[in-house]
Amino acid sequence: MEIYQAIRRMWQSYRIDSVQALDRYLDNFRILFAYHSGKIENSEIDWHDTRDIFENGRVECFSGNPRTIFEQQNQKTCYEYLKHKIIVREPMTITLIRDIYLALTSGTYDEQRFLQNNERPGEFKKHDYITGRHEVGAAPDRIEADLQELLDEINTYSGLEVLKAAAYFHLRFEHIHPFADGNGRVGRTLLNYYLLIHAEPPVIIHEENRKSYYAALEDYDANELIQPMLDLLIAETVETWKATLDRSQGQKHRTKRELQDLT
């Protein structure tokens, strides 16, 4: 917990008051986030392809499922869409959630969902899809009301436990399961959006920790427990930013020594 608090202080010491500053501090993060968030549910996603998409806007010699490339390109598109909103700290709304979903799922629907079930990117699910061991998911006619109730809760929260509020939001969003596909990618993007507009460090849920992640989701589905997800997010925040913190502290120590040498 001490390291987590040091990471919070480091992040909040940054002066992120422009898109350029946000790009600078999230330069490597946004690529790693796209890779790990996508990899949790799509084993074909590759680190090198993800980096090429973000840095060069293209992938060379790719022979896999085109959906994989669409998903990672969509993550880049979604970041570009959201970064201006992050700077002005625009609150989450139903429209924002649907716009994020549209950005992340354009061109990725399979034939059954798109042609047979008439599902569309940017729209709430039309059929009663469920998820997880406990088969959770709001009925289609309840989705918008349930999401608005959640947004009313989270947008009016003014306490100090922002990460706990973010954990609760993510758990409830995934429990509602509002879309026909891509709920995980949308939910993890919204999680970081909420953290960023509240001046908290964003987090990568690493794909190698997916079992712990799914277990935390199931703990909420079964017993409405928030603590397992909160504990996971603290650990994942440390894993996400520990190397950056170490470099920052090393730079501070070097600067102090240089000042001492001058005196």
Q: What is the mean pLDDT of each run of 10 residues along the chain (263 residues)?
A: 95 96 96 96 92 89 83 95 97 97 86 71 84 82 96 95 98 96 96 98 97 97 97 98 92 50 49
* 233-263 burial: b if 16+ Cβ within 10 Å, else e: bbbbbbebbeebbeebeeeeeeeeeeeeeee
Residues near 120 by beta carbon (within 8 Å), at least 6 away in sequence: 109, 114
Helix, strand, coil percentages, rounded to 5, for the chain: 70, 0, 30
Residues forming a β-bridge with 136: 131
Residue 26: DSSP 8-state: T
pLDDT at 259: 40
pLDDT at 202: 98
For the domain spanning 2-262, the CATH number is: 1.10.3290.10
Picking from 112, 81, 113, the residue whose alpha carbon sits closest to that of residue 186 is 81
pLDDT at 66: 84
Residue identified by tokens 């022979």 is 63
C-beta separation of 32 from 263 below 8 A? no
Which element (helix H / strand E) includes 149? helix 143-155
Structure tokens at 122: 């940017």
Picking from 155, 158, 178, 154, the residue whose alpha carbon sits closest to that of residue 226 is 154
pLDDT at 16: 95
Structure tokens at 170: 């993510």
Distances (CA, A) of 122 to 96, 100, 117, 119, 183: 10, 8, 15, 9, 12
The whole-model pTM stands at 0.91
Distances (CA, A) of 76 to 94, 184, 201, 227: 21, 16, 19, 31
Cβ atoms within 10 Å of 211's Cβ, excluding its own: 8
